[in-house]
């Protein structure tokens, strides 16, 4: 993957925007959708810098001498550097990468251009008791926690605008970090509905096995072990479970199947969604809303998940699916049983989920809104009104 792709040029390009985006795991879908629909804007010159936090062990690098955490960050900056050297070429940049965010904030102390838009699912961890902490965050010492929060709050103060994925993230920025509401707009890139075409399926016939789907790269963090436990104890004789992951355990209960070779926006994954009855991802820590939730809802599936981060913005309990506390195996069993016993209700939930996607998570609508927001900010700066306070 190249660090910086050539810009898209047009005869007249009054706006020059750069995008430096994380493409690891689910973020690749976001990158592809954003790029596809942004490139339809006729009056913008676009430059793309896709960057991944992951470097395969067999990829040679002169940075291998560094400890693993430093190696990862150094590789990120190595990939991003060709783009970062060209910041003077842009009117505005969108950043979804911590390391680049910090460097651009430092530069912004000296130069007003380009305008910097931070776009991410994360937010500063201002309240650890109510934040879905990932395992690496739980392992940090108090000194590292305080240092990271101080850096995040400094970075927030030196960022022009924020386009978080969720209202949950926007709330932390405005409520806990003091960012003026005019500088924050929750805008998710959304689903590519030209690719994800939904054809309504008939309800599950009486006596037919319930078809459960799990999709998650990090099998443990996404709640895979709990799902396997509940499935083995209560549903393996009356249901089938499909696991889309590269981390499934070798020993699986009867009627559990693994799919380990799907790619972002994979046609085979879309076909699998179309054959399922419900998506079940009892995640232990996610900021969300997860791409897999949006994918499943696009294909008319109800969701069973947990109350973490922004997940409840799309998984609305009793409306588009069922939610529960993290680790509650009995609540998970009851939710699956409810879907099993009432296929008509599950279908209604799936229809409501699809309607939510059409209204709020359509990339053909949301991406032009993102680009328009960037244009308006550039127009204000050019008119001499500068940045918002």
Q: Which CATH number fits the domain that encloses residue 272?
A: 3.40.50.2000
Look up the domain containing 242 and give its range.
210-360
Residue 387 lies in a domain: no
Confidence of residue 161 (pLDDT cuts 50, 70, 90): very high
How many domains does one find in the chain? 2
For residue 74, pLDDT beyond 70: yes
10 and 154 both lie in a single domain: yes
Are residues 351 and 79 in contact, defined by beta-carbon separation less than 8 angstroms?
no
**Average pLDDT value for residue range 40-47:** 94
Report the mean per-residue pLDDT for the chain: 91
Q: In terms of domains, do 113 and 262 share one?
A: no
Peptide bond connecting 114 to the previous residue in cis, omega within 30 degrees of 0: yes
Same domain, 173 and 322: no
pLDDT, mean of residues 291-309 = 95
Same domain membership, residue 214 and residue 77? no
CA–CA dist 248, 266 (Å, integer): 19
| Burial label, 150 (beta-carbon count in 10 A; 0-12, 13-18, 19+) | exposed
**Do 307 and 323 contact (CB within 8 A), yes or no?**
yes
- Residue 173's contacts (CB-CB under 8 Å, 6 or more residues apart) are 123, 124, 156, 162, 164, 179, 184
Does position 35 have pLDDT exceeding 50, yes or no? Answer: yes
Shared domain check, 166 and 33 = yes
Q: What's residue 203's pLDDT?
A: 75
Residue 130 lies in a domain: yes
Give residue 13's pLDDT: 62
For 243, list phi and psi in degrees, rounded to 5.
Answer: -110, 115
Q: Of all residues in the chain, what percent carry a pLDDT higher than 70?
A: 95
374 plus 354 within the same structural domain: no
Is 195 domain-assigned? no
State the pLDDT at residue 207: 79
Please, which residues bridge with residue 306 across strands?
Answer: 324
Q: Are residues 375 and 226 in the same domain?
A: no
Which residue in the block uniquely carries the two structure tokens 């309990």? Answer: 317
Local structure of residue 114 (DSSP, 8 states): S
pLDDT on residue 389: 39
CA angle, residues 335, 244, 265, in degrees to nearest 5: 110
Q: Which residues pair with 15 in a beta bridge?
A: 44
pLDDT at 10 over 60: no
Cα dihedral value 238, 232, 309, 188, nearest 10? -50
Total length of the chain: 389
CA separation for the pair 350, 339 (Å, rounded): 11
388, part of any domain: no
Whether 123 and 247 share a structural domain: no
The answer to whether residues 351 and 366 belong to one domain is: no
Task: State how far the Cα of 313 lies from the Cα of 315, in Å rounded to an integer.
Answer: 6
Backbone phi, psi, residue 238, to 5°: -125, 0
The answer to whether residues 23 and 124 belong to one domain is: yes
Segment 24-48 shows an average pLDDT of 92
Answer whether 172's CB lies under 8 Å from 126's CB: yes
pLDDT one-digit tens code per residue, 243-262: 999 999 999 999 999 999 88
Question: Hey, what's the torsion of the CAs at 292, 298, 299, 302, to 10 degrees?
Answer: 70
Does residue 228 share a domain with residue 180?
Answer: no
Q: Are residues 228 and 344 in the same domain?
A: yes
Is residue 258 domain-resident?
yes
Please report whether residue 223 resides in a domain.
yes
**Alpha-carbon dihedral 193, 199, 204, 210, rounded to 10 degrees:** -30
Report the predicted TM-score, pTM, of the whole model to 2 decimal places.
Answer: 0.90
Whether 282 maps to a domain, the answer reads yes
Question: 50 pLDDT exceeds 60?
Answer: yes
- Find the distance separating the first CA and the last CA of the chain, reported in whole Å: 38
Predicted confidence at residue 355, as pLDDT, reads: 96
Omega cis (within 30) before 289: yes
Query: Which contiguous run of DSSP H or E holds residue 162?
Result: strand 161-162
What pLDDT score does 222 carry?
A: 95
Residue 196 domain-assigned (yes or no): no
Instruction: Summarize pLDDT for 173-232 with one digit per residue, the tens.
Output: 999 999 999 999 999 999 999 999 888 877 777 778 999 999 998 999 999 999 999 999
pLDDT, residue 150, reads 96
């Amino acid at each position: 993957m190249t660090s910086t792709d050539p810009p898209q040029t047009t005869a007249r390009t009054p706006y020059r925007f750069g995008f430096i985006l994380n493409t690891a795991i689910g973020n690749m879908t976001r990158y592809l959708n954003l790029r596809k629909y942004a490139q339809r804007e006729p009056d913008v010159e676009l430059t793309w810098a896709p960057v991944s936090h992951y470097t395969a062990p067999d990829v040679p690098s002169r940075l291998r001498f560094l400890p693993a955490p430093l190696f990862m960050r150094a590789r990120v900056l190595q990939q991003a550097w060709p783009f970062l050297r060209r910041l003077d070429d842009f009117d505005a940049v969108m950043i979804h990468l911590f390391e680049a965010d910090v460097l651009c904030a430092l530069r912004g102390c000296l130069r007003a251009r380009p305008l910097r838009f931070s776009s991410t699912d994360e937010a500063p961890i201002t309240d650890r008791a109510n934040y879905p902490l990932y395992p690496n965050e739980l392992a940090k010492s108090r000194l590292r926690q305080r240092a990271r929060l101080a850096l995040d709050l400094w970075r927030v103060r030196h960022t022009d605008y924020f386009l978080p994925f969720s209202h949950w993230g926007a709330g932390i920025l405005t409520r806990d970090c003091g960012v003026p509401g005019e500088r924050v707009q929750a805008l998710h890139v959304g689903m590519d509905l030209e690719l994800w075409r939904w054809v309504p399926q008939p309800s599950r016939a009486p006596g037919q096995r319930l078809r459960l789907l799990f999709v998650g790269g990090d099998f443990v963090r996404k709640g895979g072990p709990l799902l396997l436990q509940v499935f083995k104890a209560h549903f393996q004789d009356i249901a089938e479970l499909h696991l889309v992951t590269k981390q499934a355990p070798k020993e699986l209960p009867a009627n559990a199947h693994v799919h380990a070779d799907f790619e972002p926006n994979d046609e085979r994954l879309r076909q699998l969604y179309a054959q399922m009855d419900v998506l079940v991802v009892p995640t232990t820590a996610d900021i969300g809303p997860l791409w897999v939730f949006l994918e499943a809802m696009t294909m008319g599936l109800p969701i069973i998940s947990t109350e973490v981060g922004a997940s409840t913005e799309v998984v609305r309990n009793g409306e588009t699916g069922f939610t529960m506390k993290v680790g509650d195996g009995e609540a998970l069993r009851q939710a699956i049983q409810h879907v099993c016993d009432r296929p008509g209700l599950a279908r209604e939930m799936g229809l409501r989920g699809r309607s939510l996607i059409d209204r709020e998570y359509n990339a053909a609508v949301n991406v032009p809104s993102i680009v328009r927001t960037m244009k308006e900010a550039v127009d204000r700066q050019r008119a001499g009104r500068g940045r918002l306070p």
